[in-house]
Chain A
């Protein structure tokens, strides 16, 4: 494996890790406020389809992004209605949304475009194009750090940079602002927030809607950046992997960056190498492809230390008296 290949794999890790990162931060906002969000998958899928469709029709990637965000936020609103207002079971609501997204995306895409549940391939304007950072070529000539700049830092779409900026932004909002303090509090002990005279319901809805915004971006990224159009079930379990990454990250923003990039790396590895030979060990294709999912199982089984979820997570808030 030479230096160029390593850079290439890392570059690919970033591309594949970005939707996970966005979805993971979405889950972080929602779960830190005490609303479990197993519906990340469905929201991403709905967003991917809507942004693929709108980007194709308007030939404008930005309108596609907006449509994706709109779709995901609509799903968030349903989740909020079910689990916050009507105090339903958050897992069931999430699973229901996943099913709804799975069926509805194919149905709508088929009825709109008649291409077997996919959207047509996007033309150049409908896609987010890679951004070449200034002097990429010139700096790229420098041995060592040059290729890192040229290939790893430069050449991604705007959504990748936004996703990475979301990490410090999330950290800042969560730990440095009044909203963040209240958000974390409502996920730990909503009664404390309530007696302080702050609305639990409003806080939780805001959190859920932020999750919609971020999953919307994640879904749009899939169909307008990573691929060129929507394909059925194109999220391929990324929502669940993002949830695993969230647990791995112990619900913290910087850790989320690390854990999603790790998943991205495994995905990149399995794309790059159909099979892998480490010394005498031969890893077959099937194992390589399953790597991110295997990692998910390992993390969810709790092999990576104890992760303490927000204490009020999953429980609707009912005033005591």
Chain B
């Protein structure tokens, strides 16, 4: 692969690329000139794709690029304004989901469409029953499931109730549903967003098995690593248009990122070596019990110094959230927290979020839609939340100075490149990345001594990820301490100055990013520790 390949040149090379791949295999799907507009918004503009049987085709693009619209057209949720769909070479009308199913298309949605209190079997047959009585359908499905499990490593207990299954297993049920309906073409929408790394690996094995058996798979994602790992061909969408279709083997993540965003992006964070100063926060022997009495933090100790980023790696649910919540003042704990040489109270009113903010701790919470923002409130109101006691925001003893808040919010949104820069728009109307920028603008602009950041780029586009990472690094370079929690190992590896791995409420060990790798971190995340660390055990 030559270094000077530009996105444009790749785009023009596209048709040849897809044709030369397994040219003997017939086309499973062909879309010709699909267009779809919602009012003035052109969601899909003259889109054509050809996907050959027995291949995995990736479709990447930022949020709002039109990927989901395209797939919804293919699954019969929307009717295209123009264009043609060919399945197996035959022009096919897909007016509803039933027609899509008949045409052999199966869809695994990002948010699973399962009935939580039904068994796996009941979910599988729902809508695909053989007759008015359930018994024969259930028996048939049980046999079929056994067969599918053997063939594709899709093991799930057919009699288990969905809500007792892990997310990874629930996803398998969705795949089973499609296969039970004889799907030859499987569309997966952001399938790994909810999975642990191990579950994602298993999913890819399943997909590889399906490909081997001649199934065609369309994988919608914005994770470039996945595209590189599993797909045969990849299409890139940007602003409703298909900007390129290339063979995966002929491209690289950098080129794909540029095609997605439409400009050069840095996949690795560009940062100078850290120059850590004094210790800003010191945590000692922190213990937390949840409301069921389960110990979630079992003696966590750590330090973060000025001018450094300490990251906490770990599989979700091993105490990282609780650690952030304790520091952010949302959860009581026992132990010791010293901030700037002053010990902080750990229980009750003096340890609440407002006191922590006043002490100089800002908190970008993990779940921005539930604890970071009030989705129905306008951006300017959201930017004031948590700091609404600020004297600058009060007009007098009774009334708030909304005009001042609005002005300030507007300025902050512009500095953080929030799009659209409309402070009066409700938070829910911004994309994930821009919502996150609103939260970051609120917290970072307060110039805190310690910034707590949870999952800063979850569900955020590549272009926005770059910006968010730059802001975090800029705050570090301004001599502030940053404690980052993320389940994305890539992010941890590229952003941190030090990495602490948490497992089961304990810190399993600390590593330096340039002296470790994902394998070692993965083992620590699973609780396997080669050399016992002082803080563990």
CA–CA, A193 and B114, complex, Å: 9
Of the listed stretches B115-123, B474-482, B510-518, B524-532, chain A binds B115-123
Given A176-B134, A177-B132, A319-B77: A192 and B126 interface contact (C-beta under 8 Å): yes
CA–CA, A196 and B137, complex, Å: 15
Interface centre among B118, B135, B137 (most CB of A within 10 A): B118
**Neighbour of A194 across the interface among B97, B100, B125, CB < 8 A:** B97
CA–CA, A70 and B413, complex, Å: 60
Closest to B117 in A: A188
Contact with A along B68-101 (1 / 0, CB 8 A): 1100100101100000000000000000111011
Chain A: interface size category: 20 to 34
User: Quick check: is B107 within 8 A (CB to CB) of the other chain?
Assistant: yes
Contact A178 B115 (CB under 8 A): no
Interface residues in A154-172 by Cβ distance below 8 A to B read: none
Contact A181 B113 (CB under 8 A): no
User: Quick check: is A137 within 8 A (CB to CB) of the other chain?
Assistant: no
Contact B97 A178 (CB under 8 A): no
CA–CA, A179 and B117, complex, Å: 17
Contact A182 B126 (CB under 8 A): yes
Interface centre among B96, B109, B127 (most CB of A within 10 A): B127
Given A188-B115, A321-B68, A321-B72: A181 and B101 interface contact (C-beta under 8 Å): no
Contact A196 B126 (CB under 8 A): yes
CA–CA, A311 and B118, complex, Å: 12
For residue B98, which residues in chain A have a CB less than 8 angstroms away from its CB? 197
**Neighbour of B128 across the interface among A180, A184, A196, CB < 8 A:** A196
User: Quick check: is B133 within 8 A (CB to CB) of the other chain?
Assistant: yes
User: How far is the CB of B107 from the nearest CB of chain A, in Å?
Assistant: 7
For residue B114, which residues in chain A have a CB less than 8 angstroms away from its CB? 189, 192
CA–CA, A251 and B109, complex, Å: 30
User: Quick check: is B488 within 8 A (CB to CB) of the other chain?
Assistant: no
User: Quick check: is A234 within 8 A (CB to CB) of the other chain?
Assistant: no
User: Quick check: is A191 within 8 A (CB to CB) of the other chain?
Assistant: yes
User: Quick check: is A185 within 8 A (CB to CB) of the other chain?
Assistant: yes
Closest to B132 in A: A178
User: Quick check: is B40 within 8 A (CB to CB) of the other chain?
Assistant: no
Contact A179 B132 (CB under 8 A): yes
User: Quick check: is A318 within 8 A (CB to CB) of the other chain?
Assistant: no
User: Quick check: is A195 within 8 A (CB to CB) of the other chain?
Assistant: yes
Contact B116 A311 (CB under 8 A): yes
> Total A-B pairs in contact (CB under 8 Å)?
73
Number of interface residues of B (CB under 8 A): 32
Interface centre among A180, A181, A191, A311 (most CB of B within 10 A): A181
Contact A195 B97 (CB under 8 A): yes
Contact A182 B113 (CB under 8 A): no
For residue B417, which residues in chain A have a CB less than 8 angstroms away from its CB? none
User: How far is the CB of B149 from the nearest CB of chain A, in Å?
Assistant: 21
User: How far is the CB of B275 from the nearest CB of chain A, in Å?
Assistant: 49
User: Quick check: is B408 within 8 A (CB to CB) of the other chain?
Assistant: no
Closest to A172 in B: B133
Contact A197 B134 (CB under 8 A): no
User: Quick check: is A198 within 8 A (CB to CB) of the other chain?
Assistant: yes
**Neighbour of B131 across the interface among A178, A182, A184, A195, CB < 8 A:** A178
Contact with B along A180-211 (1 / 0, CB 8 A): 11101100110111111110000000000000
CA–CA, A182 and B127, complex, Å: 7
User: Quick check: is B352 within 8 A (CB to CB) of the other chain?
Assistant: no
Closest to B137 in A: A178
User: How far is the CB of B173 from the nearest CB of chain A, in Å?
Assistant: 11
Given A198-B127, A321-B68: A189 and B113 interface contact (C-beta under 8 Å): yes
User: Quick check: is B129 within 8 A (CB to CB) of the other chain?
Assistant: yes
Contact B109 A195 (CB under 8 A): yes
Given A176-B133, A177-B134, A178-B134: A197 and B118 interface contact (C-beta under 8 Å): no
Closest to B130 in A: A178
**Neighbour of A185 across the interface among B107, B115, B135, CB < 8 A:** B115
CA–CA, A315 and B493, complex, Å: 44
User: How far is the CB of A82 from the nearest CB of chain B, in Å?
Assistant: 25
Task: Beyond the given A178-B131, A182-B126, A197-B101, please list 5 additional residue pairs across the A-B interface where CB-CB is below 8 A.
Answer: A179-B132, A185-B115, A188-B118, A195-B75, A321-B68
Q: What residues make up the interface of B, taking CB atoms closer than 8 Å to A?
A: 68-69, 72, 75, 77-78, 96-98, 100-101, 107, 109, 113-118, 122-123, 125-129, 131-135, 137
Question: What are 16 A-B interface contacts by the 8 Å CB criterion?
Answer: A175-B134, A176-B134, A176-B135, A177-B133, A178-B131, A178-B137, A180-B134, A181-B126, A181-B134, A185-B118, A189-B116, A192-B114, A194-B113, A196-B97, A198-B127, A311-B117
